Amino acid sequence: MTQAFDAAAQQTLLESRVATALEQARTLGADACEVGASVDQGTGINVRMGEVESVELSRDQGIAVTVYVGQRKGSASSSDAGEASIRAVVEKAIDIARYTGEDPYAGLADAKLMATEFPDLKVHHSWSLTTDEAIELALACENAGRAVEGIDNSDGAGLSTGEAVRVYGNSHGFLAGQRGSRHSLSCMLIARDEQGMQRDYDYSSERDPARLSSPETIGRSAAERTLRRLGARRPETGRLPVLFAPELASGLVGNFLNAIAGGALYREASFLCDSLGKPLFPDWFTLQEKPREIGGMASSAFDSDGVYTRDNIFVDSGRIASYMLSAYSARRLNMTSTGNAGGARNLRIEAPLSAQAGLLAQMDRGVLVTELMGQGVNGVTGDYSRGAAGFWVENGKIQYPIEEFTVAGNLNTMFANLMGVGDDIDTRGSIHTGSWLIDGMTVAGS
């Protein structure tokens, strides 16, 4: 494996380099400056059909400097975070600033919004794993899947483990860092019948490696997901309820977040412009952000502007309660930063939850979608159209697998027509949600 990663020493070193860059920017005439520096180290193991395909060891570092000369902004970066390159990066940023146009909204976030408390959010967990041990885990995962009757091939299994340190500072005197880790194990398998080949996968991803699912569990789940896709048909075309599996429902939350992001709003490139306080979801639905959740996949005490993070409610009883704003987008909209430079962190839903069987019974006749393809979402109009695969549902029961169809609608209508949320919550990412049952979508198949 890679050389041991001393996260505390790396943070101390990066903090020193960020402080040096800030001082040099001040000396060279910048009115304000912000600097971000990072170092990442990781290992990736891939195996296929019982053989090792690749062992990748990576270590990346970088520094990015943004300076403000009056209302002019200049940015420069380097993959070399060494002291020798810092001055060159600062000088380049100042040179760029002198040639850019003035932007009345440019500048650091307000000093009074800077984070001042930095609790231990338990997001850094090292994994002392040798290369041989990592290979053994990946092979165990694939072997468990290949041992399931009906699986005749494999796209492989992979293990990845990584640690990172990120430090941010600005000329308000703010200087802070955060250490983090992410570890994952995955498997993709292949089965075939007279109609052709099918593949599917499963994975586990955690901050703490002790919380990963066992290799055998992941492998067997990947096999079961693959086998249930055999014999797929094309569904009939019609207007039907659609149940989105949890990992796909999180994408719908992501579509909503993109639409309330400040950058889209001030550019008038969102279907949710001027939507604050307006109903969008059913009144039983609330969506909130918990950026300081202990152990959360996106937990942080401060955002990319150094602004303190806090719980935000984006949807309150169905109504849009807040936009998602950085310091810059907040100024453009004549509002205040919500601590969301860099995005939302740890999205959680408050809603009555139902078992999947209950949602299928509520659907009666429709489609369960377990895979989506393509990028068919228009953020300006809200139009939604994606290629899909999944299962046909009749009389509230899954009947057979389906593929080669599209599901389409408009996000405004889809969110309003949300009929239920499942208790099968996917916790592997920053967005935690169960399945979503949405009424009245267009399913285009045969």
For residue range 278-289, list pLDDT tens digits in order.
Answer: 999 999 999 999
Question: Quick one: pLDDT band at residue 84, thresholds 50, 70, 90?
Answer: confident
List residues bridging with 387 in a β-sheet: 373, 406
Give me the pLDDT at residue 323, please: 98
Give me the pLDDT at residue 353, please: 98
Mean pLDDT of 188-200: 93
Query: Which pTM does this prediction carry?
Result: 0.95
Give me the pLDDT at residue 3, please: 61
Specify whether the CB–CB gap between 168 and 34 falls below 8 A. Answer: yes
Give me the pLDDT at residue 82, please: 74
Mean pLDDT of 256-264: 98
Whether 1 has a pLDDT exceeding 70, the answer reads: no
Whether 81 has a pLDDT exceeding 80, the answer reads: no
Q: Which two tokens stand for residue 253?
A: 């939350």
For residue range 269-316, list pLDDT tens digits in order.
Answer: 999 999 999 999 999 999 999 999 999 999 999 999 999 999 999 999
The CA distance from 413 to 4, in Å, is 51
Strands 238-244 and 366-373, sheet pairing: parallel
Give me the pLDDT at residue 4, please: 78
Give me the pLDDT at residue 31, please: 97
Give me the pLDDT at residue 195, please: 85
Mean pLDDT of 364-389: 96
The CA distance from 377 to 386, in Å, is 8
The CA distance from 345 to 296, in Å, is 8
For residue range 54-76, list pLDDT tens digits in order.
Answer: 999 999 999 999 999 999 999 99
The structural domains of the chain, with segments of one domain joined by +, span 7-227, 238-251+351-444
The CA distance from 344 to 298, in Å, is 8
For residue range 9-24, list pLDDT tens digits in order.
Answer: 999 999 999 999 999 9
To the nearest whole number, what is the mean pLDDT of the chain?
96
Question: Quick one: pLDDT band at residue 34, thresholds 50, 70, 90?
Answer: very high
Q: What string of H, E and C letters represents the secondary structure of the chain?
A: CCCCCCHHHHHHHHHHHHHHHHHHHHHCCCCEEEEEEEEEEEEEEEEECCEEEEEEEEEEEEEEEEEEECCEEEEEEECCCCHHHHHHHHHHHHHHHHHCCCCCCCCCCCHHHECCCCCCCCCCCCCCCCHHHHHHHHHHHHHHHHCCCCEEEEEEEEEEEEEEEEEEEECCCCEEEEEEEEEEEEEEEEEEECCEEEEEEEEEEECCHHHCCCHHHHHHHHHHHHHCCCCCECCCCEEEEEEECHHHHHHHHHHHHHHCEHHHHHCCCCCCCCCCCCECCCCCCEEEECCCCCCCCCCCCECCCCEECCCEEEEECCEECCCECCHHHHHHCCCCCCCCCCCCCCEEEECCEECHHHHHHHHCCEEEEEEEECCCECCCCCEEEEEEEEEEEECCEEEEEEEEEEEEEEHHHHHHCEEEEECCCECCCCEEECCEEEEEEEEECC
Mean pLDDT of 249-260: 98
Whether 48 has a pLDDT exceeding 90, the answer reads: yes
The CA distance from 422 to 81, in Å, is 46
Give me the pLDDT at residue 249, please: 98
Which of 328, 312, 320 minimizes the C-alpha distance to 274? 320
What CATH superfamily is the domain 7-227? PmbA/TldD superfamily (3.30.2290.10)
Question: Quick one: pLDDT band at residue 194, thresholds 50, 70, 90?
Answer: confident
Which of 130, 124, 109 minimizes the C-alpha distance to 166? 124
Give me the pLDDT at residue 67, please: 98
List residues bridging with 41 in a β-sheet: 59, 163
Residue 282, φ and ψ in degrees, nearest 5:
-60, 155
Give the percent of the chain with pLDDT over 90: 95
Give me the pLDDT at residue 252, please: 98
Question: Quick one: pLDDT band at residue 375, thresholds 50, 70, 90?
Answer: confident
Specify whether the CB–CB gap between 219 and 145 falls below 8 A. Answer: yes
For residue range 105-147, list pLDDT tens digits in order.
Answer: 999 999 999 999 999 999 999 999 999 999 999 999 999 999 9
Specify whether the CB–CB gap between 389 and 328 falls below 8 A. Answer: no
Mean pLDDT of 382-402: 97
